[in-house]
Amino acid sequence: MEKLQFLILVCLLCRFGSGRAQGLFENAVVAVPETGGKNRIELNGFARGSVYGGSEAFDYSSVFGEFCLQGKWSGGKAFLFSDIRIRGGLNFGEQYTSFQLKEAYAGYSNEKLDIYLGNQIVIWGRTDGFNPTNNITPNDYFFLSADPDDQKMPNFMLRTRYRFSDKIDIDLIGIPFYIPSVYRYDLFDMGSGVVFTSATMPEKSFKNSSLAARINLELPAVGFAVSWFRGFDPFLGFDVKQIDWQSDYLGITNSSTPYMKNTIGADFSLPAGKWITRGEMAYNHTRDYDTSMYIPAPNISYVAGIERSIGGVTTILQYVGQVVTDFETLQEPVLTDPVNPLAQIQYAADMVHYESALFNRRIFNQQEKTNHALSLSLSKSFAYDTWNVELTGYYNMTSEEYMIRPKISWKATDALSLSAGGYYMNGPEKSVFNYSGPVLNGAFLELKASF
């Protein structure tokens, strides 16, 4: 009932702000006459229906209808922004209705200083899709739709940006409590007796807060930035919490567990004629990785990419790599006394921890000292941008995992669009893509009306 009342209130606000429904759908901007027109309100949003299914595990992986209302207000040097979502449908076999505050923050801005406080989505880095310096934004990897950006989740944060000049600025961020990415290990078929319980969350305290800073330079010939992050990584592995020997079979209880790290990074963008070269690199420093399986070893992650339009096709080719600076090979346990029951029990426990640690390394692409992958993105518009075709591919040369994602979009009118496509990933036995594919593979169809 509360959600219904909220939706009615939203509709009334939309009509009141526009003065007439047609005016709202035409430009979604309303100027408030008070204080000489300095106050300004902008309202826009969309409604959409989305179907995603056809995987090995689920006929309907994700089916939902969604209403979104985005509002902006500015008055003098103060402003606010909100992005509200109301969604209902079916997600991996579970029916749901949800209210999501995607973003909601207030701010202050003048010629030199911007201050934002509230729920925000902040993306750092200049490369496409793979951003080693972006440690701020968590992702819901199991929210399936036609737009991968839908997976980005907000953090509550205080963000301050100071402009030394029109070419140099510094960005400072403080995040008081941790929000992890969503990765549904519980949906994977990892064998009987293996279960995943709720995530192990860090205590909400000052010492567990996250801090980040970025100095950005936008020069005529090159864009360049250096950054630092200290906090819990949004992307996390898992830890073995319990091994049950009492039942008829071996029971293993796991829990997603975050880890603390320090990151120093840099990124750049260099246009040269028809080519654009981009790069990004980060050194991630961690501790206790030798005793905790859910903590990756210190590493250097980097991306190098080139972009050019070839025959009207926007082409982005990237090399994605990682070097583990303190790599040690995992030693597989050995059963030293096969006739000793206690030795058998110890061997079974050791194998559980070995296989779990090995899978964590696969999650972090640290099964070997170096990891090498390629990504390719192609896109082209037709018929005066009425049609758009995209194709994204990824291949990890180290793990032999691969992914392909085609998509076609049709803009029927200025307000109505239709998107269709598919997603397929796979890899060798016991690889991350091998477990993920049966759950996430499938085709999607989305109809979206915007105002």
The domain locations on the chain are: 1-103, 110-450
pLDDT recorded at residue 381: 96
Structure tokens at 74: 């500015």
Q: Are 76 and 70 in contact (CB under 8 A)?
A: no
Mean of the per-residue pLDDT values for the chain?
A: 90
Q: Are 363 and 432 in contact (CB under 8 A)?
A: yes
What number of CA atoms fall less than 13 Å from residue 300's CA on the CB side? 6
In terms of C-beta distances under 8 Å and separation of at least 24 residues, what long-range contacts does 408-412 make, across chains too?
409/146, 410/386, 411/385, 411/386, 411/387
**CA–CA distance, 451 with 435 (Å, rounded to integer):** 39
Question: Which parts of the chain register pLDDT below 50?
Answer: 1-37
Q: pLDDT digits over 121-162, tens only? A: 999 999 998 999 999 999 999 999 999 999 999 999 999 999
Structure tokens at 185: 């290990």
By DSSP bridging, strand 194-197 and strand 60-75 are unpaired
pLDDT recorded at residue 18: 40
pLDDT recorded at residue 247: 63
**CA–CA distance, 189 with 193 (Å, rounded to integer):** 10
Handedness of CA 179, 377, 424, 418 (dihedral sign): positive
Classify domain 110-450 by CATH number: 2.40.160
**CA–CA distance, 154 with 120 (Å, rounded to integer):** 5
pLDDT recorded at residue 3: 44
Structure tokens at 419: 């998107």
Closest CA to 181 of 132, 137, 148: 137
Structure tokens at 203: 């205590």
